[in-house]
Chains A and B, each alone.
Chain A
Amino acid sequence: AQSVTQPDIHITVSEGASLELRCNYSYGATPYLFWYVQSPGQGLQLLLKYFSGDTLVQGIKGFEAEFKRSQSSFNLRKPSVHWSDAAEYFCAVGEGLTGGGNKLTFGTGTQLKVEL
C-alpha cells in the first residue's frame, strides 16, 4: 500500500529565509505526487504536482519540488519565505481507482511558522 511520511511536524523559519519541507513516499510504481497547502479553517490548495518528466517541478507562489526516485523523496522548497506562507503543508501520493477517480494518500502534514 502506498504511504507518505512527513518527518517534520513543525518548522519555524524567519521571513526571507529559505525553506525545505521533507516528504518521503512508498509506492510500487511511478507515483503521482502532490503538495497542498492549507490555511486555518480553509480548504486545500494545490501548490504543485509531479507525474513524469523533469524531476524539478515549479508551482505557484514561488514553490518548487524535486522528485528523487533513488531516495523516494519529493521535497518542497522556496528560496525566500514570506509571512503569508505560514500554513499547514501536506504531501500526497495519488493512484487511479478501478471504478473511476483517484485516491490521495496524505502525509501527516508540516505546520510552518514564519517569524517576522
Chain B
Amino acid sequence: DTEVTQTPKHLVMGMTNKKSLKCEQHMGHRAMYWYKQKAKKPPELMFVYSYEKLSINESVPSRFSPECPNSSLLNLHLHALQPEDSALYLCASSQEGGTEQYFGPGTRLTVT
C-alpha cells in the first residue's frame, strides 16, 4: 500500500476562521511533509517531520501550525489566513534518508 490520504479534498474558509487539514499514511514511513503548491508552480516545502518531531520549518508564517500526533498522522492547523494562502496543500511521506516521497491527492484551500 503506497497511499497517502488527505482530508478534506476542498476547503473554503474566511480570514477569521480556524480549520485543520489532515494527512494519514500506513506505510510505516517515519518522515512526513507539508507542501504548498500555487497554480502552474512546483510544490514548495513548508514543514518536515521526522520521528514525530519537527525537523524543518521553511520560514512558514505562524498562521500555519503543524502537528504530528503519531507516526501515521500529520495535521496542519490554519488560523487567520490571507487570500494569498489559497493553494493546493500536499502531504507526503517517506522512509528515512534520501528516498522517494509519496504524495497525497492534496487539499484545495480557498481563503475568502
Interface residues of A (CB under 8 A from B): 32, 34, 36, 41-46, 49, 51, 90, 94-97, 99-104, 106-109
C-alpha gap A90/B40 in the complex (Å): 11
Q: How far is the CA of A95 from the CA of B94 in the complex (A)?
A: 12
CA distance A32 to B6 in the complex (A): 26
Q: Is the CB of B98 within 8 A of A100?
A: no
Subset of 21 A-B contacts with CB under 8 Å: A36-B103, A41-B88, A41-B106, A42-B105, A43-B104, A43-B106, A44-B92, A46-B102, A51-B98, A90-B43, A96-B97, A97-B50, A99-B53, A100-B30, A100-B55, A103-B48, A103-B56, A106-B42, A108-B41, A108-B42, A109-B40
B77 contacts partner chain A, Cβ-Cβ < 8 Å: no
Known: A100-B50, A101-B33, A109-B41. 13 other contacts (CB 8 A): A36-B103, A46-B100, A46-B102, A94-B98, A94-B101, A95-B98, A97-B48, A99-B48, A99-B50, A100-B30, A100-B96, A101-B48, A101-B55
The interface residues of chain B lying within 8 Å CB-to-CB of A106 are 42-43
Let me know if A102 and B99 touch, CB within 8 A: yes
Minimum-distance CB pairs A-B, first 9: A100-B50, A101-B31, A106-B42, A99-B55, A43-B103, A96-B98, A44-B103, A43-B105, A101-B48
How many residues on chain B are close to A (CB under 8 Å)? Answer: 34
Q: Are B106 and A42 in contact (CB under 8 A)?
A: yes
Whether A100 and B31, one on each chain, are in contact in the complex, defined by CB atoms closer than 8 angstroms, is yes
Which B1-56 residues have C-beta < 8 A from chain A?
4, 6, 30-33, 40-43, 45, 48-51, 53, 55-56
